[in-house]
Amino acid sequence: MPDRFYVTTPIYYVNDVPHIGHAYTTVTADALARWHRLLGDDTWFLTGTDEHGLKVQRAAESAGRTPLEHADHTSARFRETWDLLNVSFDDYIRTTEPRHHTSVQTFLQRVYDNGHIYKGTYEGLYCVACEAYYTEADLVDGNLCPIHGRPVEFLSEDNYFFKLSEFTQPLLDWYAAHPDFVTPEGKRNEALGIIRQGLDDVSISRTSITWGVPVPWDPNHVFYVWYDALINYATAVGYGSDDERFATWWPATHHLIGKDILRFHCVYWPAMLLAAGIDPLPYVHVHGFLLVGGEKMSKTRLNQIFPADLVADFGVDGFRYHFLRDAPFGPDGDFSYEGMVARYNSDLANNLGNLLSRVATVVGKKCGGIGPAPRADSPLAAVAAEVYEDTARGWEKVQPSVALEATWRLIGAANAHLEANEPWKMDPGPELDAVMGDALEVLRIVAILASPAVPDTCDQVWRRIGLTGTPRSQRLPDAAKWGGYPGGLAVEKGDPLFPRIKAD
C-alpha cells in the first residue's frame, strides 16, 4: 500500500492580489507534493481562495462589484499566478462553492448537536483586516491592531459561541501524545503557550453581515469567516459528501501556514475537529514571514512584490528555487533582489547550468555526442547515496532549503570531479568515458532530486542527456540509486539553462 500525503495551503483572501508571501507557501506545498509523488505516495494537493467575510464584502464595495463578482475576479488572479509558477495543485477550492457550504453546515451542525455551541452576546474590539476580535491587552497604543497597526472597531451582536474553553485539556493531551503535530519546534511551543494560558469560548457567527455560510439551525446568522474557512480542508476530501474518501485522506493531512494564522490552525481548528468527533488531527507546518526591508508585506505599506515581476527576470524555476532554497521554512526571512541574483548565479548558472554545459560540450567534442555509461565504482557513487538520504530527510521534515542544499552538494562534487580530471584535456578513450559517464549519472540523479523545486529545468536536463520520459515518471528511492544512466544516448548541448544575471 502506498503512503498517502495530503498537503494544503491556506486559502487566500480575495481582497488582496497574490504576492511573493502567498507564493512562498504555495510553491513550498507544490514542491512537497512533487516530492511525495516521486516517492510513489498517493498525493493530493489543495489550494484555493477564502471568499466570505466583512473584509471581502468591503473590498468588493470599494471596487464597485458584488462580493461574488469580486471573488470571481481575484480568485482567477490567484489561479493564474499558480499556473504561471507551475503549481501542480489537484484541487482548487473556493469557499463560495456549494460543496463547501454543505460541508460547513454538516460539520458545524455536528459540533452543535454534540453540545459544543451555545448562543450569547458578543461585545468587543474587532479588526476588520484580521476578521478577528482582540482584547485590550492585545492592542498596540490602546486601539491599534497588533498585526495591521490599524484602529479596531467596537462591535456588539448576538453570536453563537464555540465552547473552546472545554478543549484546553484535550488539546494539551493531544500535543503531549503527538510531538510532531506542529512543526517546527519553536512554533509548537508558541501554540502550547497559547493553550496553557487557558482558552476562552469564541464567537463563531455574525448577524451583522450576510456574506457567509448560513447557520443551519438559525439562518439569521452566518458563520464567521474563519469557521467556514478552516473547514475547506475537510470539504475538499469529501467531508459531508463522501465519508469514505474523507476517512482515507484525513489521517494524511499536512497544512502549510504562515505564523500569522497559527492560533487558528494550531488551537481553534484541532479543537473544532475534536468537537466534531474527528480524530486524528492534521499535521501543521508553520513558516515565518518574508519581510521586505524588515517589514511584512502589505497593501497599505505599498511594499508588495508580485511574482510575475520576478519571473520576468529570473524565470519560473529561478523564482521557485530562490524561495525554496533561500527562505528556510520556520524563521522570518528578508527578501532581497541582490540575494536572489547571487543565489541564481551561483547555484543555477554556475553549478547546475555549468555542469550540464561542460558535460554536453566534452561529450559533443570527444565522445561523438554519445553519452557513456557511469562506472559502478565511481567515487561519486558514495556522495550520491549520502546526498539522497539528506535530500529525502530535508523534504520529509518540510525543510526544502536543507533538501536542496544537499542535492546541490552532488552537483558541486561532480563539478569538482571534472575539474580534478580535466576531461577537456584528455584523449578520447575509456578513461575519458568513465569521467563523463559519472558526470552524466550525476545529472540524471540530480534531475530527479531537484525536480520538485525546478521541474521544467529538470525535464530539460533529462531530455538533453538523452533519456526518455520525464524525471517525474521515476520512482524513489530506486531511481536515485547509482548506475541508472545506461550510456549510448545522444547528448544535446542546447542553450545555457540559466544565463547569468547582472545585478543592476
Residues with a known catalytic role:
19, 22, 127, 130, 145, 148, 296, 299
Q: By CB under 6 A, tell whether 257 contacts ligand MSP.
A: yes
Scan for cell 521586505, then name that residue: 292
DSSP string, 331-395: S-EEE-HHHHHHHIIIIIIIIIIHHHHHHHHHHHHHSTTEEPPPPTT-HHHHHHHHHHHHHHHHH
Q: Which of 494, 474, 495, 493 is nearest to 485 (CA)?
A: 474
Q: By CB under 6 A, tell whether 289 contacts ligand MSP.
A: yes
Question: What character string, x for contact with ligand MSP (CB under 6 A) and - otherwise, covers 39-78?
Answer: -----------x----------------------------
Q: Name the grid cell of 294.
A: 524588515
Tell me which amino acid residue 360 is: A
Nearest distance from residue 226's CB to ligand MSP, in Å?
7
As a whole number of angstroms, the distance between CA 380 and CA 416 comes to: 10
Q: By CB under 6 A, tell whether 476 contacts ligand MSP.
A: no
184 in Cβ contact with 330 (< 8 Å): yes
Q: By CB under 6 A, tell whether 227 contacts ligand MSP.
A: no
**Which of 171, 229, 414, 489 touches ligand MSP (CB under 6 A)?**
229
- Residue 23 carries which DSSP code? H
Choice between 238 and 258, CB closer to ligand MSP: 258
Number of residues that bind ligand MSP (CB under 6 A): 21
Q: By CB under 6 A, tell whether 463 contacts ligand MSP.
A: no
Choice between 246 and 388, CB closer to ligand MSP: 246
Interacting residues with ligand MSP between 429 and 458 (CB under 6 A): none
Nearest distance from residue 360's CB to ligand MSP, in Å?
38
Q: Where are the alpha helices (DSSP H) in 155-249?
A: 168-177, 185-196, 225-229, 232-235, 243-249
Phi, psi of 287 (to 5 degrees): -115, 170
Strands 153-162 and 117-127: antiparallel
Choice between 132 and 392, CB closer to ligand MSP: 132
- Please identify, among the stretches 174-182, 225-233, 388-396, 489-497, the one whose residues bind ligand MSP according to the rule CB under 6 A: 225-233
Choice between 257 and 414, CB closer to ligand MSP: 257
Nearest distance from residue 327's CB to ligand MSP, in Å?
8
**Which of 33, 164, 191, 261 touches ligand MSP (CB under 6 A)?**
261
Q: Which of 268, 135, 244 is nearest to 194 (CA)?
A: 268
Choice between 275 and 387, CB closer to ligand MSP: 275
Choice between 257 and 480, CB closer to ligand MSP: 257
- Residue 158 carries which DSSP code? E
- Direct distance between the N- and C-terminal alpha carbons of the chain, in angstroms, rounded to an integer: 53
Q: By CB under 6 A, tell whether 260 contacts ligand MSP.
A: yes
Q: By CB under 6 A, tell whether 258 contacts ligand MSP.
A: yes
Beta-sheet strands, E only, within 32-152: 42-50, 91-94, 117-127, 132-134
Choice between 226 and 344, CB closer to ligand MSP: 226
The residue of the chain with the least Cβ separation from ligand MSP equals 21
Question: What character string, x for contact with ligand MSP (CB under 6 A) and - otherwise, covers 11-30?
Answer: xxx--x----xx-xx-----
Alpha-carbon dihedral angle through residues 443, 449, 451, 457, given to the nearest 10 degrees: -20
Tell me which amino acid residue 260 is: D
Contacts with ligand MSP, residue ranges (CB under 6 A)? 10-13, 16, 21-22, 24-25, 50, 229-230, 232, 257-258, 260-261, 289-290, 296-297
